[in-house]
Amino acid sequence: MEIDVGVIGATGFTGGEIVRLLHFHPKVNLTYVTSRKLMGKYVSSRNPNLRTITNLKYESYSVEKAKEKCDYLFLCVPHTVSQDMVPPMLEAGLKVIDLSADYRLKDKELYKYYYKKEHTSPEFLERSVYGLPEIHRSEIKSADLVAVAGCHAASAIYALFPLIKEDLILLDKIIVDSKTGSSGSGAEVSESSHHPIRANSIRPYKMTNHRHTAEIEQELAIAIRDKNKKNLINVGFSAHAVNILRGILSTCHVFYDKSNKIDEKVLFKCYRSVYKDEPFVRMIKQASGIFRLPDPKIIAGTNYVDIGFELDPHSNRIVVLSTLDNIIKGAVGNAIQCLNIMINIDEKTGLEFPGFFP
């Protein structure tokens, strides 16, 4: 049995990519694709990779039309926009998977601080489920509103969650240095994303106060066994723009107490205990070859997240590397994985494909 699905705001990079993946999903009937700017035009006019693949045209959006055509909606609108759209969708009985940041944070004051706007529907913040399947699988299954994790946040959380769950590291000394490709800037053109400016550069663009910090701290707090220590989580997050198209590489520096007997066997056991049954999480730590540790080149175009580590006894430090495709595993891949969980099918459906090499 197929379900009817719509994509609202389908002209951005995430919208176009989710249309591509849903087109080949065996349990999905893509019935409704919207755009305010391109109404009446073929989807392939915006996404030329879909020429001859689909004859879908962009339509106007209304909640009435969405209810008539769809059971589930993927919401690919900008941050601060979906908070006004979601309540009528839920009232109409639709199930929503929101790829914006509007329902990720549970604290409306944190949302206001990072997004510089009062949340217009804060009563739905607790109702939403954070869209990271490996951590929130059971809640996603019964959710009617899923807020897909941010790409930088997802990369950091995947790297750090097991270490905190197993109580191996200090909670107040967590540093995440994240590097992202140009597609992370979105489809709208700006001076900072202009090729002559972006190319051949490693540009620090948000060294402190990055809005994904709140997501990372919120989700890592879930892993803390001692509930009295939840307020001790402190993450220093910095982001750089680098000269690649797709991918994020997060290099996480964490520290452990000298009394903790930590070696590589302990670390492997830690990650296996959390991720051993996860189909899209891979541990990468090879003794030979070119790509011995996670590299964005290898996961581009896939729904995998690759995690590796190096142990530094000299400074009681663990360096954890986590890489994912910011558009797929950092956005639409996780969104489709959440959909699969919600409709109770194999969550790998429509997502089992490797990347390109070279």
Angle between helices 13-23 and 333-342 in degrees, nearest 10: 50
E-assigned strand segments in the chain: 3-8, 28-33, 72-75, 95-98, 129-131, 145-148, 174-180, 203-206, 235-241, 248-255, 281-283, 305-312, 317-324
CA dist list (Å): 24 to 17, 28, 54, 351: 12, 8, 10, 10
Q: How far apart are CA 55 and CA 41, in angstroms?
A: 10
Residues near 168 by beta carbon (within 8 Å), at least 6 away in sequence = 256, 260, 262, 266, 267, 270, 318
Tokens read off for 88:
């009528």
- CA-angle at 246, arms to 283 and 190, nearest 5°: 145
CB 15 within 8 A of CB 34: no
- CA-angle at 166, arms to 165 and 172, nearest 5°: 70
Tokens read off for 270:
């830690």
With tokens 């999903």, the residue in question is 25
Peptide bond into 358 cis (omega under 30): yes
Q: How far apart are CA 210 and CA 129, in angstroms?
A: 22
Selected catalytic residue, list 70, 76, 151, 270: 151
Active site residue 70: no
Q: How far apart are CA 167 and CA 181, in angstroms?
A: 32
Q: Report the candidate in 148, 179, 159 with the shortest Cα–Cα distance to residue 246.
A: 179
Q: How far apart are CA 74 and CA 61, in angstroms?
A: 13
Q: Report the candidate in 220, 118, 113 with the shortest Cα–Cα distance to residue 171.
A: 220
Task: Supply the residues annotated as catalytic.
Answer: 151
